[in-house]
Amino acid sequence: MAGYTRQSSYTDGDVITAAHSNDEFNQVLAAFVNTTGHKHDGTAAEGPVIGLIGDPGETTPKNKVVVDNPNNQIEISVDVSGTSTEQVVFKDGVIEPTTDNDIDLGSSSKEFKDAFFDGTVTTDALVADTANIDGGSIDGATLGTNSAITQAVIDNININGATIGHTDDTDLITLADGIATVAGEISVTTLDIGGTNVTSTAAELNILDGVTATASELNIMDGVTATTSELNIMDGVTATTAELNLMDGGTSAGTTAVAGADGIVTNDNGTMRQTTVDTFDTYLAATSKTLTNKTIDADNNTLSNIEVDNLKSGVLDTDLSSVASTDTTLASAKAIKAYVDAQIQTEDTLEELNDTNISSLSSGHILIYDGSDSFDNKAISGDITLASTGAVTIANDAVETAMVNENVVSGQTAISSGDVNITNDTLLLHDADASALKKVTVTNLISSAGGLTEVVADTSPQLGGNLDINGNDIVSTSNGNIDILPNGSGVVNLDGNGSSGGVSISDGLIDIRTGTGSVAKVNFYCESSNAHAQTLQAQPHSAGVTNTLTLPAGGNQEIVGTTATQTLTNKTIDASQLSGTVANARLDAQLQDVAGLAVTNGNFIVGDGSNFVAESGSTARASLGLGTAAVTDTGISNGNVAVFTSGAADNDFLRIDGTSIEGRSASEVLSDIGGQAALTFGISNTNAVKIDSSSVADDEYARFTANGLESRSVSEVASDIGAATAGFAVAMAIAL
């Protein structure tokens, strides 16, 4: 990967220092530098091409850009009301919205600047501040009523406000409400007026050129349906103007008496004819007509639209309280009202009504229809009581589970755990002690059940499972201590179970066990960037060592090392632990005297108070005050000589047997102490753990099997625990 170079390779037993981790992390950081880091260009070194860009930190982003390789397109989606909704798709030669008529290009407040198109622009509507169409054509365009269009010139036609004309005569036609005024001449092949073609010739119409009739008089001809031949009859008419004006509808009526033989002009199915007054009289007498302002004998005629004041006295009754069943007079509105009011006054209570049965009024009673003919006064009984104020009371325990519909709960809107306000939200529960329904906050309900609500509110919180700090730290405030205090004889185990591995800490004691097959060790780093480390480690199992290393007393000092060059002072060394030779010059004067003594069989070296001398056995016994006896007492008492009861072989162990010493082989010692000659392998308690894998590679991790430990790569461990490989590797690096 670009920007990253592996810094270290490890084998079993290697010590991983902070410097090693820092070097690796620095390389990881370098891999993500924006200028020199990896590019995700699809190569093995640069990483795969990124096919999705979405909301930061989201595993399922709603706002995203997706490269759809199978469909050869790029899709852009945004969060619409909590749902990722595809908006626009980029394809070969096409940018299109996912849904028809859904996406706006810009807005009224945020407009694009310039647009350039080399092709056809299709739109349902166009609103433009200015439209400059220079060249080309406009098909099917309609100029609306927008006042911004003040003038249009199309070829030689000029439209300007209320005038339409030629570019050489711009006001040829003037338009107004309901009228068009032509300032020039009209040249038409056919003149159509109101849907009817005018067939008169110009010469025929010119006859009207000298007519003095007014427009209203000429309008009389507007509805004339006479034929040409009928109108030509007028050619020989000798009627005077006054006579014709009578036909026009003159308003000056005379007082000439009408006789039966007088004539009346009438339209006989399209033909004007004259008939006598007697003829009209006969016609009117034989048909039904509506007459007004006439006195008619009601006994012999049918009357309509009769008003009250047309009735004679006595027809209307004004008092209905005493009318007979055979009375045929009409009741007036006043009489009806008086009668109804009187009836209501006599039955204005429930008891007075004919369809009620009220035996005795009482608080809490209601009217109930009896199913046949009346409403009865009944008391409410059972689990419900009704007060005179209208208040209804339901008895305790009256509402049971079977009476409550399931949708009382399921029909409500659900909320997620994140929407629950544990301090203010309340639940409904039955208080058995009070035999009543009461409300309780979520916090109090969880607390009463022993659950964890808020850490500060729980004085004795307990975990119901493993605590995952999720990459965070356990910290304190105000320089406070962090105490981990097991109960009683319990210990604090770190990175293991305290039996087959891990670090166990108890009051005044730290036990370091290993489950990796390597000896336990402690690393001590230097003060400069943890660049160097010194390791304190135990002897391997093969050494069979169980002992206590006690630090020396006194002031500040160093521990003596086998390979270190150090000067020892004030130390006593057992000479038996020394090997090799020491030059006389390196010995003090007394040791030089000892070195100069003759080596004589049977002699002893004895100090005489000022020097060392070689003495025979008898002389040495006398000098040492051992008496003259040549044989020393045997046994295990002070001053005696130890005696072996049996021979001791090479590599034997010694055991005191009574007053003697005997040699014991390794197997005999194992038997004496109850030990075992061979280890039992497995993952049970007290068993030894062995490698249960055909191969173990550098930088791998260990996992327990039924028989021991097997090697696992980073990807295998990530798969085992269901974690992302990269994230797991970083987490393990942090742990190391």
Average pLDDT over residues 125-150: 65
- What does the chain come to in residues? 736
| Beta-bridge partner residues of 392 | 386
pLDDT of residue 236: 64
* Model confidence pLDDT, tens digit, residues 74-106: 999 999 999 999 999 999 989 999 999 988 888
- Nearest C-alpha neighbor of 687 from the set 706, 702, 701: 706
What lies within 8 Å, CB to CB, of 613 at 6+ separation is 597, 605, 606, 607
Q: What is the DSSP letter of 121?
A: -
* CB neighbourhood size of 36 (10 A): 11
Exposure string (b/e) for 451-484, b if CB count within 10 Å is 16 or more? eebeeeeeeeeeeeeeeeeeeeeeeeeeeeeeee
CA distances from 615 to 580, 598, 621 (A): 26, 10, 9
CA distance linking residue 721 with residue 729, whole number of Å: 12
Taking 60 as the threshold, does the pLDDT of residue 290 lie above it?
yes
* Two structure tokens written together for 285: 């007498």
3-class SS of residue 181:
strand
* C-alpha closest to that of 503 among 512, 515, 490: 512
Highest mean pLDDT among 239-253, 365-379, 392-406, 651-665: 651-665
97/299: higher pLDDT:
97
Q: What is the DSSP letter of 111?
A: -
CA 17 – CA 264 distance, rounded (Å): 138
In whole angstroms, give the CA distance from residue 661 to residue 655: 6
Of the pLDDT bands very low, low, confident and very high (cuts 50, 70, 90), residue 341 is confident
Which string of b and e fits 332-354 if b means at least 16 CB within 10 Å? beebeeebeeeeeeeeeeeeeee
236-250, 307-321, 583-597: which has the highest mean pLDDT?
A: 583-597
Q: Which residue has the tokens 């739109």?
A: 123
CB 721 within 8 A of CB 727: no
Sheet arrangement for strand 356-357: 356-357, 375-379, 365-369
Q: Measuring CA to CA, which residue among 600, 620, 592, 591 is closest to residue 608? A: 620
Query: Dihedrals φ, ψ of 65, to 5°?
Result: -120, 120
CA distance linking residue 497 with residue 515, whole number of Å: 10
Per-residue tokens: 111:
């407009």
Say if CB 28 and CB 4 are below 8 A apart.
yes
What does DSSP assign to residue 484? -
Angle 725-735/18-31 helices, nearest 10 degrees? Answer: 150
Cα distance between residue 641 and residue 628, in whole Å: 16
> Across all residues in the chain, what is the average pLDDT?
78
* Block residue for tokens 């109850």: 674
Q: What span, in angstroms and rounded, lies between the C-alpha atoms of 136 and 133?
A: 7
**Which tokens hold the place of 28?**
């990881």
CB count in 10 Å sphere of residue 691: 17
Q: Which residues contact 568 (CB under 8 A, 6 or more apart)?
A: 560
Instruction: Categorize the per-residue pLDDT at 725 as very low, low, confident or very high, splitting at 50, 70 and 90.
Output: very low
Inform me whether the pLDDT recorded for 522 exceeds 90: yes
Please state whether 155 falls in left (phi above 0), alpha (psi between -120 and 50) or beta: left
Q: What is the pLDDT of residues 162-194, one digit of tens each?
A: 888 888 888 888 888 888 888 888 888 888 887
Gap between the Cα atoms of 73 and 66, Å rounded:
9
Distance, CA of 448 to CA of 438 (rounded, Å): 15
Q: Give pLDDT, residue 735.
A: 39
